[in-house]
Structure 1
């Protein structure tokens, strides 16, 4: 079998110097892999922390807002000068910043 020095299937010797661009590319790929692993670990950590806290607590309503008798808040949202509270019976209650009820809408409940 004739061995040619230009054969591309033969591995390089350990003392053969790398091409400078190849050395830079190898370092770049290694750094990218490390950044991706760290990023994935951070995402997993944030998800675990978020679910450990519960995430279902509603923000506190201002003291000026009083819900109707028997209504339990399911969702709360706020805008400039108004609050909207969605109750467990499917009503959307709109309040001013002073706590005055300005509108009520019955939302269709899914069956």
Structure 2
């Protein structure tokens, strides 16, 4: 499996120094990418990572839980452009007035 992820180290997983920094950055990037996925997809990916490496799976799951707790008051994870497009589609999708 190949993953192409941008370098975003915005999540402090509060890992010990015993874990190499590349591993922490990789886990942080995975958490950042998976936090916006549908829960079924996210859970399946956690399952895959856990099968590949139990520690990776555990740390990814913990990171997503921590992000979820930090962002629990946020109602969505979309961008402003996505919100505009969604609102436009909602307006266009309303039923027409009958003749």
What TM-score comes out, normalization by structure 1 length?
A: 0.22
- The structure with the larger Rg is 1
Q: Which has the higher helix share?
A: 2
Q: Which has the higher contact order (CA 8 A, sep 6+)?
A: 2
Bigger strand fraction: 1
* TM-score, length of structure 2 as denominator length: 0.24
